[in-house]
Structure 1
Amino acid sequence: MKRWLLIGCMLTVSVTRLSAQAGAALLSKGADGNPVFEKSYTDVQGSPYLQEDWAIGSVVLKSDKSYTGVALKYDQVKDELLFRNEKNEMNTFVQPVKSFNINSRKDNSQLVFRNGFAPAKGATESSYYQVLADGKVQLLFRNVKKVRKDKAYNSATTVLTIEEYPNYFIAKNGVPVSIKKNEKAVLEAIGGDSAALTAYIRSNKLNVKNDEDLVKLIVYCNSLTPEGK
């Protein structure tokens, strides 16, 4: 029995690797990628990436061309999506990316990212947002990372540290509005039937400072007003 379980695990790993290699091979044909070097992050404390290791995902370009089974990394300092080709080289996309999904290495869930939203709080139309809840009302998240430079007094050594700036947004009609994670701010950004939303919060004992509860609220909000109405 153990032998068959081992063989099954080996086959699963092999299929995953082949899928990633196939996606990368498709991308490497032609001028689909530009090589990237990680020298800019040498001796930096903290990670510039969404996830330190490569993860399998899918990509949709602005031309609507799509790729699946690609090894991806998301650089949150440069707000740039990277892929690994069949030569194990890190590349950026030549063509603009519209959206991408990437497997979470924590729980294997799908993390969804999109751009094309109206500029907000330093973000441009090309900036990526993680879509936590979708529909007529969207819950978006941006974790902006920056490299901070510190130099101690009388020291020639510069210490480089990654700092994170998490921001949540409510978006309607493609326009994100930055919110604080408190009930008043969330309800004001959503608008509409605040009495029904307040009642839902109370009856389900939701805490909007918690991501899961905030997602539940937005999903409920969209159920009250279906898209297209």
Structure 2
Amino acid sequence: MKLKIRTLYTTKIAIMKHIAWCLLLLSQCALGQIAKEDDLNDISGNPYLLKDWCEGVVRFTSGRTVNQFKLKFDCLKNMLLMQFNGSAFAAESKVQEFVMYPKNKDSLLFRRGFPQTDKTSESTYFQLLWQGKASLLRLPARNIIEEKQIVTVNGRISRRMEEVEYYYLYQNGALTLLPADRVALPEQFSDKKQPVAEFIAAHQLKMHSPDDFVQVVKKYNELLAGQ
């Protein structure tokens, strides 16, 4: 009995140390992020991908995986937030990827470490929509719009967040921004542009949704496989 109690106690201590380690990593960025919040107080709109906190899994570059935290993704700052016992923290740089599990929706996988572009860096999180020889990445973001015709009570120009999203093709170690234009899009698929254009026309895709882009990239992978 004493051995069993000691084993349970040891296990509990190990779990608490594991959680403490995670909180220590997260808190490294928390103070810096709090200092920036005041700059956003006068901007209307929702910066988060999803309104509610979600269950999730976080994987670090060391290979360590944790699932004790609830997750939220800030599209404005491209930042992962993690919650534990009611306290929220900004995830630090050693996070490699994370998965969010919204209620009654499909899971969302985000990953970073992709090549730098004019809009992104290697630390930018992308949602992985399709993985293959050519992968499809989605970047949900927010633009800040100044409404100069509207002035707030404190004399500042009114600002609001506009939801935007960008799609990238990841192939041969490079990222290519995909235009949300059904006519211009096939040009990004080099020698496969003609069959891709025909596929878009045949399925009447408007390129207004993630599913439209998934269908196109999936078709492109099929064409590559058939070479």
Partner of 2:100: 102
For 1:1-229, list aligned pairs within 5 A: 26-29=18-21, 31-34=24-27, 35=30, 37=34, 39-40=37-38, 41-42=40-41, 44-68=43-67, 70-85=69-84, 87-105=85-103, 107-147=104-144, 152=150, 155-158=153-156, 159-226=158-225
**Identity, % of aligned positions:** 23
Normalized per residue, which structure has more helix?
2
Q: TM-score, normalised by structure 1?
A: 0.73
After superposition, what is the alpha-carbon deviation per residue over 1:54-89, rounded to whole angstroms, capped at 9, x for unaligned? 01111111222222353101112221111111x310
State the 1:215 CA deviation: 0.9
What secondary structure, in the 3-state scheme, does the structure 2 residue paired with 1:72 have? Answer: strand
**Quick one: structure 1 residues 119 and 97, their matched pair in 2 at CA, closer, same or farther if it must change by over 3 Å?**
same
**Shift in alpha-carbon separation, 1:161–1:136, aligned structure 2, 3 A:** same
RMSD: 3.1
CA displacement, residues 153-186 of structure 1 (integer Å, 9 cap, x when unaligned): 6952434532333222222123222222123432
Deviation of 1:200 (Å): 2.9
Are the structure 2 counterparts of residues 186 and 94 from structure 1 closer, same or farther at C-alpha, using a change threshold of 3 Å?
same
**What letter is aligned with 2:26?**
G
Q: How many corresponding residue pairs?
A: 203
Distance 1:47 1:154 in 2: 19
- How big is the shift at 1:188? 1.7
User: 1:102-160 CA distances to partner (integer Å, 9 max, x unpaired)?
Assistant: 1235x421112111111113210101112222212122221222555667569524345
Q: Is the 8 A contact 2:182 2:200 kept in 1?
A: no
Scaled by the length of structure 2, the TM-score of the pair is: 0.74
Partners in 2 of 1:24 and 1:48 — Cα distance? 32
Change (3 A) 1:145 1:153: closer
Q: Which one-letter code corresponds to 1:93 in the other structure?
A: A
Distance 2:203 2:153 in 1: 55
Rounded Cα–Cα distance in structure 1 between residues aligned with 2:128 and 2:204:
24
* Residues 132 and 140 in structure 1, CA contact (< 8 A), matched pair in contact too: yes
Contact 1:62 / 1:95 at 8 angstroms: preserved in 2?
no
The answer to whether the 8 Å contact 1:170/1:190 transfers is: no
SS of the residue 2:160 aligns to: strand
Higher mean C-alpha displacement, 125-134 vs 191-200: 191-200
Cα gap change, 1:109/1:202 in structure 2, threshold over 3 Å: closer, same or farther? same
- Structure 1 stretches of 5 or more lacking a match? 1-22
Conserved? CA contact 2:183–2:197, under 8 Å: no
What amino acid does structure 2 have at the position aligned with 1:67?
Answer: V
SS in 1 for 2:169: strand
